[in-house]
Structure 1
Amino acid sequence: MTTLYFDDFSVGQTFESGGRTLTEADLTFFSMLSGDWNPIHADAEYAAGTRYGKRIVHGVLGMAVCTGMLHEMGIFHGSAIAMFGFEQWKFTAPLFVGDTVHLRLTITDLSVGKSGHSGKIGRRFELINQKGEVVQDGMSALLVQTRAGAAAAGG
């Protein structure tokens, strides 16, 4: 997909990423990177005795996968200025090794800045597994250049 600017978005517009299967390596590397070796993630025998019956993938890894899938879409490549953060993020179902997930991104709000060179875009992230279940859901606003702002910046 090509770069989009503030002017190219409308409230209610949706985008879908391709799928990605979560692997054993993903879980292990994220445990190493984060230092989170909680037995629900790292100990198969312990996890077998939990309500899930097996190890679960770190919830925060799901958030990271969402941002990677967003980058893969390419819609903000070269137009994004700053992400404001994550809000109201919910882990609605567990993630497991072997799950294939994709991102559905919905534009929820548009607010152009005073200069007209940028605008704030409200975005809803839904991480969806292979069963069609939303396993994570949250909001993240982004400051994005307008086409006029990009032209003024020499882009």
Structure 2
Amino acid sequence: MSETKTVAPKIGKDARYFEELNPGDSWVSPRRTITETDIVNFAAMTGDHNPIHTDEEFAKTTIFGGRILHGPAGFAIATGLESRLGIKEGTAIAFLGMNWDLKGPIKIGDTIHVEEKVTGKRESKKPTQGLVFFHVQLVNQRGEVVQEGEWKLLMMRKPA
């Protein structure tokens, strides 16, 4: 019979526990430039080949004047940029939900980053965890907020 071993999560050097996250705390992520490959890969992965994303000649006739990144791809990239901050590495238990608004297009060549702020937190029923609310903005190189919303995460409390 084999034994089941519990492995403690690896906590990142910049990770924060529930107690260490307070309303007003904020961070800015590294930047990333959107490429045609991002659009092609997301279309292939999801099967969403809407011509606004995949047909340059069609997209030129739209209000955007060219192809744009899929809205959900913007959110997905925001999660990756935000993870590079390391504040939840090993201390986030679960992503519980979000309210997310698409405010403007993300085009090939746009350079985007995440601006994140703790807006609130709440105790949970379990003494080892708590709920933290983050306002997250995806911002382009012109300082325009192209996507934003609130993310709700279940975070670990500091071990006793």
In the superposition, the TM-score normalised over structure 1's length comes to 0.92
1:111 alignment partner AA: R
1:107 matched to 2:137: no
Matched pairs, number: 148
1:142 alignment partner AA: L
Secondary structure, aligned partner of 2:23: coil
1:45 counterpart (43, 57, 60): 57
1:85 alignment partner AA: G
Greater C-alpha radius of gyration: 2
In structure 2, how many angstroms separate the alpha carbons of the residues matched to 1:86 and 1:32? 25
Cα distance per residue 1:56-115 (max 9 Å; x no partner): 11011000011101211111011011111121x111010001000000111011112234
RMSD: 1.1
Residue in 1 aligned with 2:24? Answer: 12
For residues 80-91 of structure 1, what are the structure 2 equivalents within 5 Å?
Answer: 80-87=92-99, 89-91=100-102
Percent identical? 39
Residue in 2 aligned with 1:145? Answer: 156
Task: Could you tell me which runs of 5 or more consecutive residues in structure 1 were left unpaired when the two chains were aligned.
Answer: none
Task: Could you tell me which runs of 5 or more consecutive residues in structure 2 were left unpaired when the two chains were aligned.
Answer: 1-12
In the superposition, the TM-score normalised over structure 2's length comes to 0.89
In structure 1, how many angstroms separate the alpha carbons of the residues matched to 2:122 and 2:137? 22
